[in-house]
Structure 1
Amino acid sequence: MKGLEQLIGEVQPGDLSPLVLAYVGDACFELYIRSRVVAENPKLPPQKLHRLTVGYVSASSQSDIIHGIWEHLNENERMVVKRGRNAKSGTSPKNADVVQYRYATGFETLVGYLFLAGATERLLYVLEKAYDFFVISSKQDSRL
Structure 2
Amino acid sequence: MEKELTDIQNQIQLAGYIKEHYKLPDTDIRTYSPLTLAFIGDGIYDIIIRTVVVVGGNAPVNKLHKSVSKMVQAKAQAELFHRIQDQLSEEELAVYKRGRNAKSFTSAKNAGIVEYRTATGLEALVGYLYLMNRTERILELIKPVLSAMDT
Q: TM-score range by the shorter chain?
A: 0.7 to 0.9
User: 2:107 is matched with which residue?
Assistant: 92
Which residue, 1, 4, 25 being the options, matches 2:14?
A: 4
Map Cα deviations across residues 3-42 of structure 1 (whole Å, 9 max, x no partner).
53133631222110000000000000000000111122x1
User: 2:48 is matched with which residue?
Assistant: 32
Cα distance between partner residues in 2 of 1:90 and 1:102: 11
3-state SS of 1:22 partner: helix
Contact 2:99 2:124 in 1 (8 A): yes
Which residue, 29, 45, 56 being the options, matches 1:13?
A: 29
Segments of 4+ moved more than 6 angstroms: none
Cα distance between partner residues in 1 of 2:69 and 2:95: 24
Gaps of at least 5 residues in structure 2 are 1-12
3-state SS of 2:105 partner: coil
Gaps of at least 5 residues in structure 1 are 140-144
User: 2:63 is matched with which residue?
Assistant: 48
1:130 Cα deviation (Å)? 4.1
User: Percent of aligned pairs with the same residue?
Assistant: 42
Aligned length: 133
Map Cα deviations across residues 87-131 of structure 1 (whole Å, 9 max, x no partner).
001113321000000000000000000000111221221122443
1:75 Cα deviation (Å)? 1.3
Cα distance between partner residues in 2 of 1:5 and 1:129: 24
Q: 1:100 is matched by which residue type in structure 2?
A: E
**TM-score, normalising length from structure 2?**
0.81
User: 2:93 is matched with which residue?
Assistant: 78
